[in-house]
Structure 1
Amino acid sequence: MDEVKVVVAHHECATLRVGDVFLKVDAHQARTDVEVEAMARAPIPTPQILWRKPPVLALAALPGTALGRLGEPSPASPGAWAAAGAAIRKLHDAPPPPWPGRAGRGLDVLEAELDRECAWLVTNEVLPADLVTRNRQVAEAALRPWTAVFTHGDLQVAHVFVDGDEITGIIDWTEAGQGDALYDLATVTLGHEEHLGDIAAGYGADIDLDVIRAWWSLRSLLGVRWLVEHGFDPNMPGGEVDVLKACL
Structure 2
Amino acid sequence: MTGIQVVVAHRERATLRVDDLFLKIDTDRARVDAEVAAMAAAPVPTAEIRWHRPPVLALAALPGRALGRLGEPSTASPAAWAAAGAAVRQLHSAPLPARVGPGPAELAAELDRECRWLVANDVLPADVVARNREIAEAALRPWTPVFVHGDLQLDHVFVDGDEVTGVLDWSEAAQGDALWDLATLTLGHPEHLDDLLAGYSAPVDRELVRAWWTVRSLRGLRWLIENGFDITVPGGELDVLKRASHS
Pairwise same-fold verdict (TM > 0.5):
yes
RMSD value, Cα: 1.0
2:94 matches 1:94: yes
Q: Deviations over 1:198-230 (max 9, x none)?
A: 011000011011110000001101100000111
- How far apart are 1:130 and its partner, in Å? 1.5
Q: How does 1:15-54 map to 2 (within 5 A)?
A: 15-54=15-54
**Matched residues in 2 for 1:221 and 1:210: separation?**
17
Query: What is the identity, as a one-letter code, of the residue corresponding to 1:108?
Result: A
SS in 2 for 1:97: coil
> Percent of aligned pairs with the same residue?
68
Q: Deviations over 1:139-174 (max 9, x none)?
A: 011000000000000000110000000000000000
Flag structure 2 segments of 5+ consecutive residues without an equivalent: none
TM-score normalised according to structure 1 size:
0.97
The 4+ residue runs of structure 1 with deviation greater than 4 A are none
Q: How does 1:76-87 map to 2 (within 5 A)?
A: 76-87=76-87
Q: Deviations over 1:11-68 (max 9, x none)?
A: 2211000111000000211111011000000000000000011110000000000000
Contact 2:151 2:170 in 1 (8 A): yes
Q: Which residue of 2 aligns with 1:7?
A: 7
Q: Which 10-residue stretch deviates more, 2-11 or 149-158?
A: 2-11
**Matched residues in 1 for 2:118 and 2:16: separation?**
32
**Matched residues in 1 for 2:83 and 2:205: separation?**
20
**Matched residues in 1 for 2:236 and 2:148: separation?**
22
SS in 2 for 1:246: helix
| 1:135 paired residue among 119, 132, 135 | 132
SS in 1 for 2:79: helix
- How far apart are 1:237 and its partner, in Å? 1.6
Query: What is the identity, as a one-letter code, of the residue corresponding to 1:182?
Result: L
Q: Which residue of 1 aligns with 2:237?
A: 240
TM-score normalised according to structure 2 size:
0.97
**Matched residues in 1 for 2:201 and 2:33: separation?**
32
Q: Which residue of 2 aligns with 1:164?
A: 161
SS in 2 for 1:22: strand
Q: Which residue of 1 aligns with 2:183?
A: 186
- How far apart are 1:2 and its partner, in Å? 2.7
**Matched residues in 1 for 2:78 and 2:3: separation?**
34
Q: How does 1:70-81 map to 2 (within 5 A)?
A: 70-81=70-81
Q: Which residue of 1 aligns with 2:223?
A: 226
2:161 matches 1:152: no
| 1:210 paired residue among 180, 184, 207 | 207
SS in 2 for 1:70: coil
SS in 1 for 2:68: coil
**Matched residues in 2 for 1:108 and 1:180: separation?**
13
2:112 matches 1:115: yes
